[in-house]
Amino acid sequence: MRPLALLSSITLALFGSSLAQPAAPASRLALWLRPPATAQALDDTLSAAKRAGFTDVLLEGFYHGRAVWTSAVAPSKLGYDALAVANTAAVREGLKLNVWFETLYWRPADSFGIPVTPLWKDSEATLSRDGRTSLQLSNLGFVDPADPQVGAVLTALTAELGRLYPQVGLHLDYLRYPREADFGYHPAALEGFKAQTGLDPRTFPNNDASGEFTEARASWEKYRQSLITDLAARLIATYRAAGGQGMVSAAVYGGTDALQNWRAWPGLDAAMPMLYYPLPLLYTLIPLRFSPGPNIWPGIQVGAGKPALQEQVSLLHRLGYPNVSVFGWAPGTAVPSTSAPTSVAPVSPALR
């Protein structure tokens, strides 16, 4: 090899790889948004969100057991078709639109004065070990993933979304049990567990002499976890089978929830762990339970008494999370930056 060619080869070997590195991916910023009372207000809010730098919108679309689009499955929540309005605005503004499902939370407490959805049946409510509903222990009325009718309604809704709005993504929230007590003791779950194990989880002790779960209790934990995972799989599969092509994401607990094993949900594209820390310092003091990467979108909260939006976003970028989801933003508040972080962690593998 000639000296000049050799020098060129050495130079390429030393520096060529750095020149060939792809640019850091553009960051994305998602907004959890409850649709306002009028179509014009929703359109204006989405325009403002685009100007503020948001790239994705998680439109609350199935909540309180009602849909914000013209649905053949669920009753209407609003006096207008918010999904149709949002879809038109999102296309115009270049926003990625997703429908946010409050999956198993169907009924607020009566004290809120919100009409009870016709979908609600007391027989479908999840139960605590002593037979109480979540409404008796909190302000949130949850249905149980083991009830066949619950699954039928939800899969019909996700299929309807995929068919009517194939480019709109699916965002699953409240796909879990309530945390105010030990829930999941619905008759269908008890029957299913007994068929597998011959046991009734209401009768065996939870802990052994050392304080650890008994083998029976561990089996009951795994069984209830599987009910949540199986429902997630069915919702995602029916959305895709109906033509849904958008991102599938989920709002998940930011800490540890043994019954919400979202890492095992087949077809989940992105997880949005809800952190909502009151102080930015906590992001560095409390070890996050998930590796940095583009398919983990940490969930932050802004607004009165909360850390500034830009401060939280910049800190998470530095920690290796290029994508962030935001709760509590309203038009007229601080404008975030969506420039790519200067240091991005290696791309993490698909969740499943």
Partners of 58 in the beta sheet? 32, 98
Helix (H, G, I), strand (E, B) or coil at 101: strand
- Residue 53, amino acid: G
Partners of 28 in the beta sheet? 323
- Residue 257 included in any domain: yes
Residue with tokens 């998940």: 252
Helix (H, G, I), strand (E, B) or coil at 227: helix
Cα 9 to chain centroid distance, Å, stands at: 49
In this structure, what CATH number is given to the domain that contains residue 166?
A: 3.20.20.80
- Residue 195 included in any domain: no
Q: What DSSP assignment string belongs to 271-294? A: EEEE---SSTTHHHHS--SS--ST
Percent of the chain whose pLDDT exceeds 90:
79
Which pLDDT score, from 0 to 100, does residue 73 have?
A: 99
- Helix axis angle for 215-241 and 148-164, nearest 10°, is 30
How far is the C-alpha of 31 from the C-alpha of 28, rounded, in Å? 10
Which pLDDT score, from 0 to 100, does residue 287 have?
A: 82
Which pLDDT score, from 0 to 100, does residue 7 have?
A: 39
Q: Could you tell me which residues come within 8 angstroms of residue 34 by beta carbon, excluding any fewer than 6 positions away? A: 60, 63
- Residue 260 included in any domain: yes
Contact (Cβ atoms closer than 8 angstroms) between residue 26 and residue 338: yes
How far is the C-alpha of 213 from the C-alpha of 13, rounded, in Å? 56
- Residue 178 included in any domain: yes
Residue with tokens 């989801």: 325
Which pLDDT score, from 0 to 100, does residue 8 have?
A: 39
- Residue 191 included in any domain: no
The DSSP code for 213 is: B
Cα 327 to chain centroid distance, Å, stands at: 12
**pLDDT tens string 9-49:** 433 333 333 333 344 558 999 999 999 999 999 999 999 99
Contact (Cβ atoms closer than 8 angstroms) between residue 35 and residue 42: yes
Q: Report pTM.
A: 0.88
Residues composing the chain: 352
What's the domain count of the chain? 1
In order along the chain (352 residues), what is the average pLDDT of each group of 10 residues?
Answer: 42 36 70 98 98 98 99 98 99 99 98 98 98 96 99 99 99 96 97 97 88 91 98 99 99 92 97 95 88 96 94 95 97 54 36 56
Which pLDDT score, from 0 to 100, does residue 177 have?
A: 98
How far is the C-alpha of 329 from the C-alpha of 283, rounded, in Å? 20
- Residue 61 included in any domain: yes
Q: If residue 140 lies in a helix (H) or strand (E), which one and from where to where? A: strand 140-142
Which pLDDT score, from 0 to 100, does residue 342 have?
A: 32
Q: What DSSP assignment string belongs to 20-79? A: HPPPPPPPEEEEEE---SSHHHHHHHHHHHHHHT--EEEEEEEETTEESS--SSS-BSSS
End-to-end Cα spacing for the chain: 49
- Residue 214 included in any domain: no
Q: Could you tell me which residues come within 8 angstroms of residue 67 by beta carbon, excluding any fewer than 6 positions away? A: 61, 73, 74, 75, 76, 77, 157
- Residue 350 included in any domain: no
Give 144-195 as a 3 state SS string: CCCCHHHHHHHHHHHHHHHHHCCCCEEEEECCCCCCCCCECCCHHHHHHHHH
Helix (H, G, I), strand (E, B) or coil at 36: coil
Domain around 290: 25-182+228-327
Q: Could you tell me which residues come within 8 angstroms of residue 204 by beta carbon, excluding any fewer than 6 positions away? A: 214, 216, 217
Partners of 96 in the beta sheet? 56
Contact (Cβ atoms closer than 8 angstroms) between residue 66 and residue 42: no
